[in-house]
């Protein structure tokens, strides 16, 4: 590795990483880069990591005791590998005492806008976003997260429970009936599901309902009340509160931010919907 030249801000890019990958080997190969990052930090250089570049900062010991983020897809691994770091998987950009970490690679634009905002004010940042065609209103990576993309080894029982719950999201949640379907007690069902997933069947069902509602809000013209009913909620207010808790947006605001064009009028637009 060539010596780093003097810079005001050192930006650390990500590297190829798939969920479930053994990180020891790639990080060992990047040991010279990690040492260079550590040296620049000791010299007082401001540091910024993009996406999984946060792992390099963490290996250099620079996230110990600091708040940090990375792509939601790898945030769990970062937290497990570096418990001294305070990993915030919902955040797009986190700056803590001269060290900035960002979410997935597109969050570099959020960082750039944040940098412009801090140095030149909100007005200039807003104008920059308009010229660059960048969304300056997003504040969280939570709406983009999809737990189905995360590796889930050794979870056969919970997978079967999840599949049953996901078969009909509009069906009323009945813990007793669910336990009977798997021939276990409710206590055993809750214990085994929590051991494998770290949460309850109801929490999974709520997350699945929100994920389906996101799709309907993005791709159809259904009213919020109709979307709520389609995923098991007769009270739109209860649904809206749950949706906001999971995504950081009320349903109508989410639709305005993430709406995709509907292809064709009427029923054809919902042809892929049950």
- How sure is the predictor about 152, in pLDDT bands with cuts at 50, 70 and 90? low
Q: Does the pLDDT at position 6 exceed 50?
A: yes
| Residue 129 confidence (pLDDT) | 94
Question: What DSSP string runs through 122-177?
Answer: HHHHHHHHHHHT------BSGGG--GGGS--TT-HHHHHHHHHHHH-TTSPP-HHH
State pLDDT tens for residues 68-125.
999 999 998 899 889 889 999 999 999 999 999 999 999 999 999 999 998 999 999 9
For residue 247, give both structure tokens.
């995504």
Lowest mean pLDDT segment, chosen from 50-59, 67-76, 131-140, 225-234: 131-140
Model pLDDT, residue 168: 87
Mean pLDDT of the chain: 88
Write the CB contacts of 241 (distance below 8 Å, at least 6 apart in sequence).
none
Q: Which of 163, 231, 232 is nearest to 193 (CA)?
A: 163
In the prediction, which pLDDT does 224 show?
96
The more confidently predicted of residues 23 and 110 is 110
Average pLDDT over residues 211-224: 91
135: left (phi over 0), alpha (psi -120 to 50) or beta: beta
CA distance 70 to 151: 17
- 168-196 residue pLDDT tens: 899 999 999 999 999 999 999 999 999 88
pLDDT at 159: 82
Q: Are 179 and 189 in contact (CB under 8 A)?
A: yes
The answer to whether 23 and 55 are in contact (CB under 8 A) is yes
The H or E element that residue 197 is part of is helix 186-197
Write down the pLDDT at residue 23.
82
Spell out the domains of the chain, with CATH numbers in brackets: 9-143 (3.40.50.880), 152-264 (1.10.10.60)
């Amino acid at each position: 590795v060539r010596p780093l030249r003097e810079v005001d801000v050192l930006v650390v890019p990500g590297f190829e990483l798939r969920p479930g990958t053994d990180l020891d080997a790639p990080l060992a190969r990047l040991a010279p880069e990690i040492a260079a990052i550590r040296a620049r930090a000791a010299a007082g250089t401001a540091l910024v990591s993009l996406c999984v570049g946060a792992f390099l900062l963490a290996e250099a010991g620079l996230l110990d005791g600091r708040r940090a983020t990375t792509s939601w897809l790898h945030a769990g691994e970062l937290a497990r590998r570096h418990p001294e770091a305070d990993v915030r998987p919902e955040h797009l950009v986190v700056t803590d005492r001269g060290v900035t970490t960002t979410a997935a690679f597109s969050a570099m634009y959020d960082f750039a806008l944040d940098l412009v905002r801090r140095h030149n004010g909100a007005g200039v940042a807003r104008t920059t976003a308009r010229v660059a065609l960048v969304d300056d209103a997003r504040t969280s990576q939570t709406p983009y997260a999809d737990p189905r993309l995360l590796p889930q080894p050794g979870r056969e029982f919970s997978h079967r429970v999840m599949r049953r719950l996901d078969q009909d999201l509009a069906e009323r949640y009945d813990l007793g009936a669910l336990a009977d379907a798997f021939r276990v007690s409710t206590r055993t069902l809750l214990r085994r599901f929590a051991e494998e997933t770290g949460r309850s069947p109801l929490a999974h069902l709520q997350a699945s309902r929100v994920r389906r509602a996101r799709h309907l809000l993005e791709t159809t013209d259904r009213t919020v009340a109709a979307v709520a009913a389609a995923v098991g909620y007769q009270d739109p207010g209860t649904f809206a509160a749950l949706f906001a808790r999971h995504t950081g947006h009320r349903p109508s605001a989410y639709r305005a931010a993430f709406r995709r064009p509907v292809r064709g009028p009427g029923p054809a637009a919902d042809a892929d919907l049950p």
